[in-house]
Amino acid sequence: MDVSGIASLSSSMAETGIKQEVGYAVLKKAQQMQGQVAAQLIDALPTPQRLPSNLGNTINTTA
């Protein structure tokens, strides 16, 4: 392998590393944005109404 081939390989490897770092950064940002959107959706849900105290205390096992 000649010197120009080694230099080309080194340059290519450095470029690949930079592309991976950029890809990870974009992925991390997308995950953060999805987390924020999910939190907003959960906050937008209406608060559940309280059931009367006599409901939900027993289970009908003969039905």
Q: Which domain holds residue 37?
A: 1-41
Complete DSSP assignment for 36-61? HHHHHHHHHSPPPPPPPTTTTS----
Q: Is residue 62 part of a domain?
A: no
Check whether 1 has a pLDDT greater than 60: no
Q: What is the pLDDT of residues 23-63, one digit of tens each?
A: 999 999 999 999 999 999 999 988 878 878 888 788 888 85
Q: Is residue 63 part of a domain?
A: no
Q: Is residue 15 part of a domain?
A: yes
For the chain, how many residues are written? 63
- Residue 46 has a pLDDT of 86
- Residue 3 has a pLDDT of 65
Task: State the average pLDDT over residues 10-22.
Answer: 83
How many domains does the chain divide into?
1
Q: Is residue 54 part of a domain?
A: no
